[in-house]
Amino acid sequence: MQIFITDATGLIGSATVRYLVAADHQVTSFAYSGRAAELLQALGTKALPRDDWASYRVQFAAPCTKKVENTCRGSL
């Protein structure tokens, strides 16, 4: 499953990322700096530059089903 996580470098976010990657999910998150991008890549995620988030919002929000639509909108 493709999963997008905001604040993946924080205490809870990084633990969540580790769990999801270990379960073979494809995890993507924003990187606010070069150091954050390195950390996210080391955790096994795809790191996206935060300054271009509007285009990613459309990319990740579009596939949401009605069942999880509110969750997706709340995290983007």
Give the residue carrying structure tokens 């470098």.
Answer: 9
Superfamily of domain 2-75: NAD(P)-binding Rossmann-like Domain (3.40.50.720)
Confidence of residue 76 (pLDDT cuts 50, 70, 90): very low
Q: Of the candidates 75, 33, 26, 74, which has an alpha carbon nearest to the alpha carbon of residue 51?
A: 33
Confidence of residue 24 (pLDDT cuts 50, 70, 90): very high
pTM score > 0.75 for this model? Answer: no
Q: Closest Cα partner for 7 from 50, 60, 41? A: 50
Residue 25 banded pLDDT, cuts 50, 70, 90: very high
Contacts of 73 (CB under 8 A, 6+ apart): 61, 64
